[in-house]
Amino acid sequence: MRQHLISTRATQRQCPTCRTPTLHALVDGLSVTVDAAPLAGQANELDALLRNLSTYTLTIIRKELIHRTAPIIRRPRQIPGTIHAQHACPIRQPAGTQLELPFMEST
């Protein structure tokens, strides 16, 4: 029995930190939270991957999340569903924060 590798149906949640609507599910036994809003296209998926965020396909019928590994992304025939990026809370700068640049001497 491989009960520790279970996958569950995705359910809607709100991120307790940033209040963004998200989807939560177990994927092969791992707890996964993705943005509820699907990615608009391949460029957005590439952007998420470059930010070191995993992407998942939300299957149409079973509403499960499938981790999009490189072989899955390269498949010519894709799993029907929408693509979602792993949720990461947006970084917010406190109001009035001024960024300091390191001092550089002119030559």
Residues that bind Zn ion (CB under 5 A): 15, 17-18, 20, 89
Judged by beta carbon, residue 60 or residue 89, the one nearer Zn ion is 89
Q: How far is the CB of 82 from Zn ion (least distance, A)?
A: 19
Rounded distance, CA 50 to CA 52, Å? 5
Backbone angles phi, psi at 47, to 5 degrees: -60, -45
Cβ proximity to Zn ion: between 18 and 60 the closer is 18
Q: How far is the CB of 15 from Zn ion (least distance, A)?
A: 3
| Burial class of residue 65 in the structure, from the number of CB atoms within 10 Å of its CB (0-12 exposed, 13-18 middle, 19+ buried) | buried
Minimum gap (Å) between residue 36 Cβ and Zn ion: 11
Partners of 35 in the β-ladder: 22
Q: In this complex, which beta carbon is closest to Zn ion, that of residue 17 or of residue 107?
A: 17
